[in-house]
Each structure stands twice: as structure tokens, then as C-alpha cells.
Structure 1
Amino acid sequence: MDAFTQKRMMESRTWWHRHYQTPDVVTRKRMMESRTWCQRLMTSCQKVDEDEFLRILDDSYELRRLANTLSSDTDSFVDIIRDKVGLNRVMRILGISDDINTILLCPIMIRFHEIMTHEHGKDLASRVLDVCNIHDKNLFCQITYHHHESQTTNERTWCQRLMTSREKVDEDEFLRILDSSSASSYHELRRLANTVSSDTDSFVDIIRDKVGLNRVMRILGISDDINTILLYPIILRFHEIMTHEHGKDLASRVLDVCNIHDKNMFCRITYHLIFYIAHNENGCSIIKKAITTADDLFKSDFLDLIAQHANLLSTHDLGISLFQHVVDLDFTKKTTEEDTRLHELMAEFDKILPITSDTAELHKLALKLTSDSDLFLELVKTKRGSLMAQIIIGKSKEIDTVFWEAIKQNYTNVATSFYGHHIFRRAINVVEETRKLKLVAQILRLDGYNALYLTKEPHIGNLVVEYTINRHDSVVTELVASGLQGHYIELSFLKHGSNIVAMLLGEDEELPLLLIVTEIVECDEDTLVRLANDEYGNGVLAKTLQVAKKLRDDLFGDLVGKLRPFLDTLRGSRGENIAQAINVLEERGKSRLFEITKRLNGYNALYLAKEPNLGLQDAIDLHEPDFTKLIACGLRGHFIELSFLKHGSNIVEKPLGEDEYLPLLLIIMEIDIKCDEDRLVRLAKDEYGNGVLKKTLQVAKNVSDDLFGYLVGKLRPLLDTLRGSRGENIAAIINELQ
């Protein structure tokens, strides 16, 4: 095999992989989970997966979703074809409809050589040629031709000169070949088209040349088979060609003159590479043209893809212009027809959205929308509504304020909505562009305060928390960690929950480690062994050991001490790696007895705090920050309860008096999560609780303006209720400190 042929066989895979890399961590994770599901469904011999596959075969929408996912990753597609069960299921899907065939033909074309030289390639080729329409068969045959035939260097040089030369002799020769009135000249035209498309490097150079582009466009449209020949190199080098200044003209020509089947193939490739050409002005124009040209099935695919991954597009003006194009389509407008009230309101937005210079009317409509929580939630949960909201956000400061207040009031519903959570991401992007960093922190703190609810929501909520952690903001990370206090072991048994716990540990922050180690040390023997042997919990425990050894030798020693009695039980099971990790990591074992005693006080802080004569106050008076944090973790979830007790309230006030951020954060998070209005009023009026609340306000003002502002916001609606009672001093303190 010559070097040129080898290059041509590799270039399709090289170019595809170079441009099919998503930049967003959370989105990449979602895509990978979808592909993992697809891989299992297509290759598993388990009856549950086989039954699911058969169910999908009878559901046209689900089948199209499966085909799109199947063709979105060519590596995965090749693996599926090489698997006997996978091949059988792909062949069962082929032939169901022409559009499904077109979807599956894309990865076959991109990885043609690898697939067709495998032992299963013969069966797959036979199936394609048996069930596909004449146009897809012709494209398949054209690909086969290109992988078999190799033009000589002289032929390629002749072709390059003929297509780009401004010399009259070459122009006359081109016109002669273009005249297809006779069979012989048409044969020459096919020969020219085959040579032009045989070397994609040369084809790209021809397209970049103004004369070359003009001549390629003159050849396109002469016949369907010529169009099919020229479509092949366009698809292989799609990204490079379509982001060039000439790409827009070439795409328009293809979509104007090609038959419906070749147009569908062009739209299919545009669909696969939408996120990578959308950031380019020419590429974005081509996407709009493809969507407009596509039939309703393809329009539906485009709408689903853009709405589901809107965060990849909403960070730049071209992406927002694409949203505007999509929501202006009659097809998109029809998607909300069943909800009359929402449909009528969105029609009002449609009338004024193109008028971007005057936002006063848009502001009125935004107020009308957000004043009704039910209507607002209906909007953000639809594809059309979510895209519309992302277009509107950023139009003016007043509009952004209106939407931000609506998001705050309906935060958990917006954040866990399949389409609505993109509005939250868009709001952050807009605020960051205006450099209002305090508002960004305020938005992200909502994730911290709602961390437990979001983490337990397996579809979207946990992705929102992952996005927040991935921003690597230590304050917000601590808020999330505090929001999950008391639930780390519970979450470690869940797939999505264990991911969140591992991510918090991966931030190398001390607070998540302290909270997790405290829970592990406090848990019973049976729970600890189950955790070590659990599919997800095992990973959390291993990660905790690694991070503890890296950050805090004392906490690592405590973990080893807790686990050592069970090492023999863990050997020979999934938990064996925990025993091995403990043996590999260096054992400290040299702590002074006094240090061990102090930490035992921390882990048993709750028990000691409820007993007035066990000396926990003396231990706090040592004024050692690490120990104070450990005691605060030991009391987590019980600060309010202790605040109603004489000796308990003294214990709560002691860590606060250390002016440490962690005790303050844990107390305020507990007030937020566990205190309804009635309980907060009782706390403010209580003989001992009043002092704790007063101390908390004073320390918050000294340590963190953000936490102070949040606590004041929680108390402000209750100030009238507190006046004339013991709680009146709380109102006075708030007025004094602000």
C-alpha cells in the first residue's frame, strides 16, 4: 500500500477526532454517560438490555435518539460493529427508515476502512446495500471507489491546475469537460470529479481558491452522481471547509442543488459538528441554512441537541443568534401550541425580540412572565422557552434583575429542570461578563444551600452541583460541603452521590475531608464494612484515605485506627484494596497520647456537649484551630438543639468565639436547613438560644459579610414578631451592625 493511500485511509479518523472534543466538563460527562448507555444496550446479552432494545425498536422517537447517540462517537461505533451482538443489533436498525439509514451511514463512511476490513464488515456492507435507498447505495459505492482507486501524482497535479488556473487554455479545457452533451465528455467530467475528490488536502486547497470554488460550484448540480462524488471530501473535511470564508457559499450551493438524500447527509454532518463550527461566523451561518433546509425530523433533532447542550452555545453572541434563528422557526413555535397561555405570551416575545435597541417593552413582558411562578416554570421547562429566556437574559440590567429574582424564588425547580438549568448557567455567564463577581458568588451559593437536594436528584441536580464544584471557588466548595454534612455516607452508596463526594475530596480542601472523616469515624461497624465493599462507597473510602494522608496525617491515622479491626474481613472482597492501601501508605503511629485524647473529644463532641461536667469547654479553651474545627464537625446538625440548653448553648458559643469560619458556616447552614419560621422565632425568644443567635450575628459580621447578609435576610421577615419580646435585641443588633 503506497503512502498516499495510507494517508487517505487515516485522514477521516484524524480530522473527525481532532474536532469532536467537547470543551465543557459537565457536558462531556453527560455525553459519555449517554454513550455508555448506548454501548451497553447494543452489546449486552442481558435479558433486561435485550428487552429494552426491542422496546426502542417499536418507538420511533427513542429509536432516532438511539441512532443519533450510536453515530455520535465513531470509536464506540467501531467497537459495537466488532461485537457480534452489536453487529446484529445495528443490522436490525438498518432498514427501518431512510432517515435512520442516513444517520448510521455517517460513522460507516467516516471509519470505512476499519469497519470494512473487519470480519463483520462484509455482513454490514451487504445489509447496507440490501436495505438503503439508491442514493445511499451510490454514496456507499463512491466511498468504496475512493478507498480502492488511487490517482497518480500527475493526475492530481493536472486536476489542481485545471480547477484553479486563470490561464485561458485551462479555462477552455474546463469548459470543454463541463459540456456533458456527449457520453465521452460526461465520462471526462466524472473522471475530473473523482480526481478532485480523491485527495482531500488538494480539495481543501481548491475550495480556498476563489477560481477553484467557482469551478467546484459549477460542477455541483450537473447530476446526482456527480454531487455524491463531491460530497464525500466535503464531509471528510467538513469543519475545515465550512469555517473558511468560502464555506458558506459552498454549503448554500450543496443545499440548493443536491437531492433530498444528499441534503440530509449534509445536515447530518452539520448536526454532529454543530458545537465546533457554531463559534465561527461562517460556520454559524451554515448551521442556520442547514436547519432551515432540513425536514421536520431533522429540525426536531437540531432543536433537541441545541436545547440540551445550550450551555456550549450561550457563551458567545453567535450562539445566541443561533437560538434566535431556531425560536423563529415555525416548527419551533408549534412546540408550545398545547399550552395556550404560554404560547400566547411567547408570541408577544416573538414580536419584539428582533428589536434589540429598545428593551422597555421586553422588560414589561419579562415582568409579566416572572410575576406568575407557574407560568415561569412552564416556560423554562420547554425547549422553546428555555432558549427564549437565554436570548432575553443579557439584553439589559433591568431584565437580568427580573430574571435573577425569578430564578432565586424557583431555584430548585429551575436547577433540576432538563432545559431550565441552562438558564442558571446563562445568568452566570452574563453576570461574569459584567464583572459583578459578588453576584456570581450569590448565585453559586444557592447551590451550596441546596446542595443535598440537588445531589440526590440523579438527572440534572447533581450536574449543577458538579458544575459548581468544577469552578474551584473555595468558599462555594465549603458551602456545598456544609450543605451535605451528615449525609456523606448515605451519598457514597449512590452513583451520582459518590461522584459529588469524590469531587469535593478532589478539591484538596480541608472542610470536606473533616466532615467525611468525622462521619466515617462515627459510623457503626456494619455500615463501615458495607461501605468498603460497595461498588461506589469503596471508591469514596479509598479517595478519603489518599486525601487524608496528603492533607492531614492525624485524620489519616484516625481512619486507619477505625478500619484496622476490619482489615481481615475486607480481604478477599471488593474492600481488599482498602486493606492494601493502608499497608502501602505510611503508618504514622507516633501521635502523642494528648493529641489522640483531644481528637477523641472532637469525634465525641455531641455526647460530651450534652453532659455539663465532662470538660469539653476546657478542651475548646485550648484555642487550637484544628481541634476547634473537629469539635464543630462533631456537633454538626445539632447546634440548634444544643442552643436551647444552658450548658449546650455555652458549648455552641465557644467555637463561635474563636472567630473561625467553619463553626459559623455550619451553624448558619443548620439555621437555613432545619429552622422554619416558628423554630427560628422560638430560638430568638429562648433564654439561651437568644444569646447564641446574637453571638452568631456578631461573629458573622466580623468573619463573612456574605454569611451575615444571608442570616439577616433570613431574620428580617420576623423582626416585627420579635419586637416586645426577648427577641427584640436581635432587631436592635441587626440595625446596629448594618
Structure 2
Amino acid sequence: MDSTSLETLQHSFGNLRVNHGNMPSSSLPTGVLPSLESSYRVGSTLGSSNTSSLLPSFDFTEILRRGYGFGEPDPYFLAPPTWKDPLLNHASFLNHASFFSEDLLGNGFNMGNDESYVGFLQSNKEKIITMAMLEESSKQLQGFILMKDTNITNLIFEGVIDNIFQLMTSQYGRYLFQKLVELKDENMLQMIVEKLTKSDRNNIYNASIDRYGSYSVKKLIKVLQKSPLVSEVVKALANSFWDLMIYQTGHYVILECLDIVDSQRNDLLYIEAIDKCLKLATDERGCAALNSFIERIKGPRRDQLLEEICEQVVFLSQHLEGNFVVQCILGLQNPAFIQKICYKLRGYYVKLSMQKRGSHLVEKCLKSSGMVHVVQEFLQSNQLVQLAKDRYGNYVLQTALKEVKKVSCPLHESLVMKLRSCHNLRDLNHHGYGRNILSLIAAPMVPLNRA
């Protein structure tokens, strides 16, 4: 490569640098904590005489105005429009430009000296929350916490607690939040829970529906699973149950409680699910969340929830979304509820069989212990040929013939005879769907249950 081409290539790469300065970028993945060894290496650089050329001068007014310097707002950050980030209204944060280059060097900051850590954090306490939201400084603060120094940890915590929601929902700040809760300090956890559930009751909801905040809330639940404090978190989540269940990230927070917290402490969530199950079952997003809830609920409230849904099974089976909830209950393989569902649906099987989603439900009934209710309705119907011609119904009829044959049930012979006796059976020869049925009833029958 000639010198001109090399110079052009170098110039192209140079244009990719961050305009704020020439700080060497970390090769670690986003949010991953650097080792202490690498931290000391950075410290030796900071203490050298040439540090002023390595440390950037940040324009925090511009950074905070643009979303903490992360470029365009993340489409997954969907906090309600009524919520305003208090950091954007904090004049003190907007007037501390270049604190890395001035304060670190001006105070003689030495990465190998614990007293320098404490001194630096004390003199920059109001800036810690902003530092926590920037990638490199967030990693460094995480490193401070791993030192297990109570003074350092307390200073960091005091610097972020008043803006704990912003920390939890920050792309980089959430890693610092996780490190703080992993300390399992009762006083810290108590203050965090109070901030999220009592100071502003919307905090727990807003964090749960945020892309990054939901991870923070789930981490908090995991740490608190055996603590009495988890009841406060569950109570706050129960107060926003409906809104969380119809929100993709929010309903995962609810499921985290079901997976980790015991059924007694989850009782408020169970009660809310029973109260709102029909509304959820008929909601486009809520039905999937309800199915996941049904699969996880434990204890006596489980039967209460299933009973409530079974009472409305006829309506739900014909509803676009509710149909999936009924299928979910059948999939639990609970004989008592299978019988309740299949019994209540008598008189609707032919109609459901000719619907796209209803046909899947009828096939599930045929593959369950409630099969007899479906076949008996088919035997009493005069619409079997119409069913055989239908784009959905013919699959249901094929399933019925195959399933009753599997269990060597006399119903198989009765169903075949019923189809063969239809006066317009020959019409099926001229119909693509119908020929599938003819091929199944054309095979010679072996008498069943005879010596």
C-alpha cells in the first residue's frame, strides 16, 4: 500500500473517533466490570504527568440534553409522557463540565490509595449519579464497590439513592444498581424499597416497563426473595397488575415474582389475576401473559383462577384471544378441568370446528380425556358432510377418526357408519378436503370389542 492510500485510510479511521476527546475505549463488553488489575493500570496513567492529554473534557449540558450521551433515545424506553427525568432539571448537574479532567488531577487522585477514593467521592458526591450513567465511570464505580470498603460503598450509595429510578433505568447505571443490591445490606435495601414503593408509587411501575429498568427490578426481587421487604415490592406490583400484564417487559417482572417468591407472598398477585382474568383473556397482549401466569400459579388460588375461566369457557372459546387461554388450560392435563371444559362446550363443537382458531381447540379436546363429548356431538349432527368439506372442519374430522381408532373405542365404528350413511357422501369425491375423509372411512373396519 502506497503512502497516499495509507494516509487516506488513517484519516478515515480518525473521523470515527469521539469528538469529546481521545480517551482510549475499553475492549470490554458494555456493562462488564474491568478487573482490578486493569483498574490500577488506568490509575497509573492518571497519576502520570501527561494525563491532561488523555482525559476528555465533557460538555455535560450537551450530554444530559441528548440522553446522557447515548445518541438517539432508545425505542425500548417507553416511559409515560407524563414522567420527566429530574436530572434534566438539576442545574447542579449541568454546571460540572470536565469534572474528570479537573477534579481527578486537581485533587491528586491516585488509583492505588483508598483515602484518595474516599476524598474524591466526598468532594464529588453530587456528581456520582451522573458518573454512574456513563459507561467507563460506571465500571470504575463498580470496581470501588468490589473493594468491600464500607466508607466507599456508603458514599456511592448516598450519591445515587435520591435518583435511584434514573440509576435503574440507565443503560450503564443498572449494572451499578445490581452491584449495590448484591451487597444485601439491609439498610440500603430498605431505602431502595421505600424509594420505589412509598416515595413515588409510580417508580416501581415505570421501572418495570423500561427496557433496562425491568432487569433492575427483577434483580431486586431475586435478592429480596426471602426478605420481608419483598412483600412491599409485590404489593406495589399488584397495584399496577393490569398495566404490567399487558406490557411486554412489565409482565416479565410479574412472572419473576411467580418463579422466585413463595405463593403466600404472591397472594396479592393471585387475587389480582382472578379478578382480572377475563379482561386479560380477551386482550391481545394480556392473553399470552395470562397463559404464562396460569402455568406458574401455585396453591389453592390456582383452582380458583381456573374455575373462574371455566365458567366463561363458551364465550372464551369463540373469542380470538380467549380461545388460546382455554387451550392453555387443556394443556395442563388436569382431568377435572378437562371434563368441565369439554362438558360445557357441548353443542358448540361443530360450529367451533369450522373456525380457524376454534378448530385447534376442538382438536385439543379430541386428544384429551374429554374426547367422548366431541364425538357424541358429531354422531348426533347432520352437518358431517359440510364439516368434511370445510377448510378447517375436515382436519377436525380427520383427527376425530384417528383418535377414536387409537383407543380402540366403539365410537370409531359408530362415527364411520354415520359418515357412510350420509346421503350426500358422494359429493366428497369432487371436493379436495372431502377426499381426505373418504380415504379414512374407505379402509375396511375391524369389528371392535368382539371375541
TM-score (norm 2): 0.52
Out of 491, 510, 514, the position equivalent to 2:263 is 510
Out of 35, 57, 77, the position equivalent to 1:334 is 57
Q: Given that residues 168 and 207 in structure 2 are in contact (C-alpha distance below 8 angstroms), is that contact kept between their aligned partners in structure 1?
A: no
Q: Equivalent residue for 1:579?
A: 326
Q: Given that residues 456 and 462 in structure 1 are in contact (C-alpha distance below 8 angstroms), is that contact kept between their aligned partners in structure 2?
A: yes
1:358 matched to 2:113? The reply is yes
1:297 matched to 2:16? The reply is yes
Q: Equivalent residue for 2:282?
A: 533
Q: What amino acid is aligned across from residue 576 of structure 1 in structure 2?
A: N
Q: Aligned-pair distance for 1:504? A: 1.7
Task: Note closer, same or farther for the CA distance 1:331–1:466 as it changes in structure 2 (3 Å cut).
Answer: farther
Q: Aligned-pair distance for 1:484? A: 1.0
Q: Equivalent residue for 2:242?
A: 489
Task: Note closer, same or farther for the CA distance 1:472–1:381 as it changes in structure 2 (3 Å cut).
Answer: closer
Q: Aligned-pair distance for 1:512? A: 5.7
Task: Note closer, same or farther for the CA distance 1:398–1:346 as it changes in structure 2 (3 Å cut).
Answer: farther
The 1-side partners of 2:156 and 2:187 are apart by 13
Q: What are the equivalent positions in structure 2 for 1:109-508 lying under 5 Å apart? A: 295=14, 297=16, 309-310=30-31, 312-314=32-34, 316-318=35-37, 320=39, 330=53, 333-336=56-59, 341-344=96-99, 347-350=102-105, 355-370=110-125, 372=126, 375-383=127-135, 385-393=137-145, 396-428=149-181, 431=183, 438=186, 441-442=189-190, 445=193, 449=197, 452-471=204-223, 473-475=225-227, 477-507=230-260
Q: Equivalent residue for 1:214?
A: none
1:405-433 CA-to-partner distances (Å, cap 9, x unmatched) read 2222332232223333333234356x4xx
The 1-side partners of 2:27 and 2:159 are apart by 24
Q: Given that residues 323 and 387 in structure 1 are in contact (C-alpha distance below 8 angstroms), is that contact kept between their aligned partners in structure 2?
A: no
Q: What are the equivalent positions in structure 2 for 1:32-47 lying under 5 Å apart? A: none
Q: What amino acid is aligned across from residue 333 of structure 1 in structure 2?
A: P
Task: Note closer, same or farther for the CA distance 1:403–1:259 as it changes in structure 2 (3 Å cut).
Answer: same
TM-score (norm 1): 0.33
The 2-side partners of 1:383 and 1:307 are apart by 11
Q: Aligned-pair distance for 1:392? A: 4.6
Q: Given that residues 477 and 504 in structure 1 are in contact (C-alpha distance below 8 angstroms), is that contact kept between their aligned partners in structure 2?
A: no
Q: Aligned-pair distance for 1:393? A: 4.4
The 2-side partners of 1:313 and 1:262 are apart by 33
Q: Given that residues 332 and 384 in structure 1 are in contact (C-alpha distance below 8 angstroms), is that contact kept between their aligned partners in structure 2?
A: no
Q: Given that residues 40 and 112 in structure 2 are in contact (C-alpha distance below 8 angstroms), is that contact kept between their aligned partners in structure 1?
A: no
Q: Aligned-pair distance for 1:448? A: 6.5
Q: Aligned-pair distance for 1:490? A: 2.1
With a CA cutoff of 8 Å and minimum separation of 6, indicate the structure with the bigger relative contact order. 2
What secondary structure, in the 3-state scheme, does the structure 1 residue paired with 2:111 have?
A: coil
Greater fraction helix: 1
Q: Given that residues 287 and 321 in structure 2 are in contact (C-alpha distance below 8 angstroms), is that contact kept between their aligned partners in structure 1?
A: yes
Task: Note closer, same or farther for the CA distance 1:443–1:582 as it changes in structure 2 (3 Å cut).
Answer: same
Q: What amino acid is aligned across from residue 582 of structure 1 in structure 2?
A: I
Q: What amino acid is aligned across from residue 285 of structure 2 in structure 1?
A: Y
1:510-558 CA-to-partner distances (Å, cap 9, x unmatched) read 04642222113334xxxx444113343222211222223xx31x32221
The 1-side partners of 2:28 and 2:195 are apart by 22
Task: Note closer, same or farther for the CA distance 1:318–1:407 as it changes in structure 2 (3 Å cut).
Answer: same
The 2-side partners of 1:502 and 1:539 are apart by 12
Q: Equivalent residue for 1:546?
A: 295
Q: Given that residues 521 and 559 in structure 1 are in contact (C-alpha distance below 8 angstroms), is that contact kept between their aligned partners in structure 2?
A: yes
Q: Aligned-pair distance for 1:383? A: 4.1
Q: Which moved more, 1:444-453 or 1:506-515?
A: 444-453
Q: Given that residues 404 and 427 in structure 1 are in contact (C-alpha distance below 8 angstroms), is that contact kept between their aligned partners in structure 2?
A: yes
The 2-side partners of 1:421 and 1:326 are apart by 27
Task: Note closer, same or farther for the CA distance 1:437–1:337 as it changes in structure 2 (3 Å cut).
Answer: closer
Q: Aligned-pair distance for 1:491? A: 1.0
Q: Given that residues 181 and 189 in structure 2 are in contact (C-alpha distance below 8 angstroms), is that contact kept between their aligned partners in structure 1?
A: no
Task: Note closer, same or farther for the CA distance 1:441–1:353 as it changes in structure 2 (3 Å cut).
Answer: farther
The 1-side partners of 2:156 and 2:282 are apart by 46
1:549-584 CA-to-partner distances (Å, cap 9, x unmatched) read xx31x3222112211232222225222121123234
1:568 matched to 2:321? The reply is no
Q: Aligned-pair distance for 1:335? A: 3.2
Number of residue equivalences: 290
Q: Given that residues 557 and 588 in structure 1 are in contact (C-alpha distance below 8 angstroms), is that contact kept between their aligned partners in structure 2?
A: no
The 2-side partners of 1:530 and 1:428 are apart by 36
The 2-side partners of 1:538 and 1:302 are apart by 49
Q: Given that residues 336 and 343 in structure 1 are in contact (C-alpha distance below 8 angstroms), is that contact kept between their aligned partners in structure 2?
A: yes
1:483-513 CA-to-partner distances (Å, cap 9, x unmatched) read 2122212210111111111222222620464
What secondary structure, in the 3-state scheme, does the structure 2 residue paired with 1:297 have?
A: coil
Q: Equivalent residue for 2:373?
A: none
The 2-side partners of 1:346 and 1:388 are apart by 15
The 1-side partners of 2:60 and 2:45 are apart by 16
The 2-side partners of 1:325 and 1:578 are apart by 61
Structure 1: gaps of 5 or more residues: 1-134, 136-222, 225-257, 266-293, 590-738
Q: Aligned-pair distance for 1:260? A: 7.9
Q: What amino acid is aligned across from residue 466 of structure 1 in structure 2?
A: K
The 1-side partners of 2:261 and 2:335 are apart by 21
Percent identity between matched residues is 13
1:639-665 CA-to-partner distances (Å, cap 9, x unmatched) read xxxxxxxxxxxxxxxxxxxxxxxxxxx
1:591-642 CA-to-partner distances (Å, cap 9, x unmatched) read xxxxxxxxxxxxxxxxxxxxxxxxxxxxxxxxxxxxxxxxxxxxxxxxxxxx
Task: Note closer, same or farther for the CA distance 1:364–1:472 as it changes in structure 2 (3 Å cut).
Answer: closer
The 2-side partners of 1:487 and 1:411 are apart by 20
Q: What amino acid is aligned across from residue 309 of structure 1 in structure 2?
A: T
Task: Note closer, same or farther for the CA distance 1:481–1:337 as it changes in structure 2 (3 Å cut).
Answer: closer
Q: Aligned-pair distance for 1:464? A: 0.8
Q: Aligned-pair distance for 1:340? A: 5.3
Q: Given that residues 326 and 332 in structure 1 are in contact (C-alpha distance below 8 angstroms), is that contact kept between their aligned partners in structure 2?
A: no
The 1-side partners of 2:217 and 2:105 are apart by 33
The 2-side partners of 1:359 and 1:349 are apart by 14
The 1-side partners of 2:163 and 2:209 are apart by 16
